[in-house]
Chain A
């Protein structure tokens, strides 16, 4: 018998998970949709589309953590944990079911719903802009552009760069996987606290290190671990960039290595998990 992966078993596990958790997952998604709609409604006076579009990205990105947490919320009760851990499926199948439901259900659903909301709201805003404020076509394209999904990074916020969105999506999903498998009780809150604590410590640590190198008389800030902005006492700004190769290494480390490592730690944790 194949103890690593079996399509029939995997299918049964997916069916069981969707049946048992579908309602909660659906409810969470409706909440995400409502939040995006609210963000569009609340910014109707600004006559720019970039703000709700950015908020929509953020809502979508962070909601993946809730989605993953619901899928792995099996360890707060011993009876539920025992039933889940002794279900005749391999660790890979259990891990993959979380990955598949997140990537092949949540992600496309979010992207489609987000695009639909954006199109509906922008149609309405554009009509208002033309009838009330007499916008020209050029103004519409500048201030109220539709959301587009792009693989190439653009300066426009309304063009959602997958090169940034996808790694962050997988990274946050990975954080939620690891957190849900490490903490049995109140895993969502504990994971969020640890994640925020680590992010804060890392940011503070790198700033302090840089300050120690440059000197106390100037204020510094580190951006994306590859760029430092130095402000001297007479308010002169200097920007120091890391070399091209270092920037590439940091970029790949942050965008590929960390999300992959988090999901793989989740897989290993499945096999180590005890009651």
Chain B
């Protein structure tokens, strides 16, 4: 559904942010795009949406070149930027003005999502708190039923109950035909939600793997002393919590935060393990 071939992009020609980046993202998955601040997550998403143009290389999203920003492309993708800004109108008016642009928009779903998020629908959007605005736009984006739904730091500004509501709603909205990309640096917010992880740092993709494949190749456990298979260790009350190469085929629960730290600390070794 999204194909990126040899993408090079930089705000400055002398210092490229990405060089020859290639990857392919398939429908039916929720991708978590993780990276440190300034790693280029938002830039990559903007390239996918046609809001920034690559210096070279090719991006194809739902069989369109995003750069052309054709209506047939735009009504099949929805993007929520990190900061949201609304005009001074009510939710009902917003719905009347914006929903007709998206042919698969479902009004019933929209009001259901608002109810789940506990967003009052009688207030003007610009008068709402940042968190409420964020929830309103997430509800709208989900109800658009676009094939690709991209969210940049969607959990910023959400309170703890709203974060779990968010995970529940996004997981329920996923179908075989849809693809969700969620970019965040708050990796814990994506626990139990994503089924594919992409970690980027220093202009390259360090890891792109499914949760299943990560479980097969790495294990997350607590040990007394780290051995040579350990990629990352962190002190805990019971000893050391580690991410290690799964040589024994152990079953474990992925800790995304530890995985992220392990990938950032051992990029070369991670690449060897997953390639």
Contact = CB atoms under 8 A, between A and B. Distances in A.
Interface of A: 1, 3, 6, 9, 12, 15-16, 19-20, 77-83, 85-91, 271, 274-275
A79 B100 contact: no
Contacts of A90: 70-71
A89 B79 contact: no
Nearest to A77: B85
A9 B89 contact: no
Given A86-B51, A86-B79, A275-B52, A20 B74 contact: no
Given A3-B70, A275-B46, A88 B102 contact: yes
B6 to A, nearest CB: 20
Contacts, number: 71
Nearest to A6: B71
A85 B75 CA distance: 12
A20 B93 CA distance: 10
A120 to B, nearest CB: 34
A68 B69 CA distance: 23
A219 B123 CA distance: 67
Contacts of A79: 81-85
Interface in B80-129: 81-85, 87, 89, 93, 97-98, 100-102
Contacts of B52: 274-275
A85 B46 CA distance: 11
Given A82-B81, A86-B77, A9 B97 contact: no
Given A1-B71, A86-B74, 15 more contacts: A1-B72, A3-B70, A12-B97, A16-B97, A20-B89, A77-B83, A79-B83, A79-B84, A82-B79, A82-B81, A85-B50, A88-B75, A89-B101, A275-B51, A275-B52
B97 A87 contact: no
A275 B48 CA distance: 13
A9 B71 contact: yes
Contacts of A3: 70-72
A19 B71 CA distance: 21
B51 A85 contact: yes
Contact of A86 (B49, B53, B83): B49
Complex A-B, nearest 3 residue pairs according to Cβ-Cβ distance, in ascending order: A88-B74, A88-B75, A3-B70
